[in-house]
Amino acid sequence: MARTKPTIPELKHLDHVLVSETAIRRRVSALAEQINRAYRGKDLTVIAVVNGALIFTADLLRQMRSPLRLDCIRASSYHAGTAATGKPVIIDNLKLDIAGQHLLLVDDILDTGNTLSAVKELLLAKKAASVRTCVLLDKKARRVVPFEAEYVGFEIPNEFVVGYGLDFNERYRNLPCIGVLKPKFYSGTV
């Protein structure tokens, strides 16, 4: 029997889809394969930057073949609407001892670079053996701090996107694709 997918009313808030659900699925598989090859035979610790990286990490992990452990770190950039202001606040509530461990830092998007460079610095200060970064999206045009991720899903233009873990004012994280909201849904909140 054919199953129909539940409809998500908030999909109607999108002006356009930038990355479809199918494109995400294919790219996540390819990234996992690349990471599997790089870490073959190595013990790996994945550090997800939550909340944004939650959905991406969940999908990526299920295709990773190395023996691994998972921990999360919380970062927030005090977003007011679509503009991140100042330095990110990192809440270091890591449970695992990461000293001497090979780490894969996973986030939803690399934007100004402030968050990932601060998190990476923190992880290195805790004596990680190595830290590589994997992001689903990269908005290169927005970079303020020099930072490059070793594994990148998609380079995207300088537009504020939602879906697949990414939010606008904590909404839209559950959309299965990545898209740009209609202007009226961004307005009045910045």
Query: Which spans of this chain sit near Mg ion (rule: CB under 5 A)?
Result: 52
By the rule CB under 6 A, 112 interacts with ligand IMP: yes
Q: What is the DSSP string of 114-159?
A: HHHHHHHHHHHHTT-SEEEEEEEEE-GGG-SS----SEEEEE--S-
Only segment of 31-39, 64-72, 93-101, 108-116 that touches ligand IMP (CB under 6 A): 108-116
The angle that helices 21-38 and 54-61 make with each other, rounded to 10 degrees, is 60
Min dist CB 63 to ligand IMP, Å, is 22
Only segment of 34-42, 58-66, 95-103, 112-120 that touches ligand IMP (CB under 6 A): 112-120
Min dist CB 45 to ligand IMP, Å, is 20
By the rule CB under 6 A, 113 interacts with ligand IMP: yes
Let me know how long the chain is. 190
By the rule CB under 6 A, 114 interacts with ligand IMP: yes
Distance CA 77, CA 92 (A): 14
Give the CA radius of gyration of the chain.
Answer: 17
Min dist CB 158 to Mg ion, Å, is 17
111 given a catalytic annotation:
yes
State the binding partner of 156 from ligand IMP, Mg ion, none, CB within 5 to 8 A by kind: none
Residue in 59, 111, 138, 167 annotated catalytic = 111
Distance CA 146, CA 31 (A): 23
Alpha carbon separation from 186 to 34, 82, 158, 180 (Å, rounded): 36, 8, 15, 10
By the rule CB under 6 A, 88 interacts with ligand IMP: yes
Distance CA 190, CA 186 (A): 8
Distance CA 39, CA 32 (A): 10
Binding mask 14-53 for ligand IMP (x = CB under 6 A): --------------------------------------x-
Return residues touching ligand IMP (CB under 6 A): 52, 77, 84, 88, 107-115, 160-162, 166
Question: Which residues are catalytic, by number?
Answer: 111
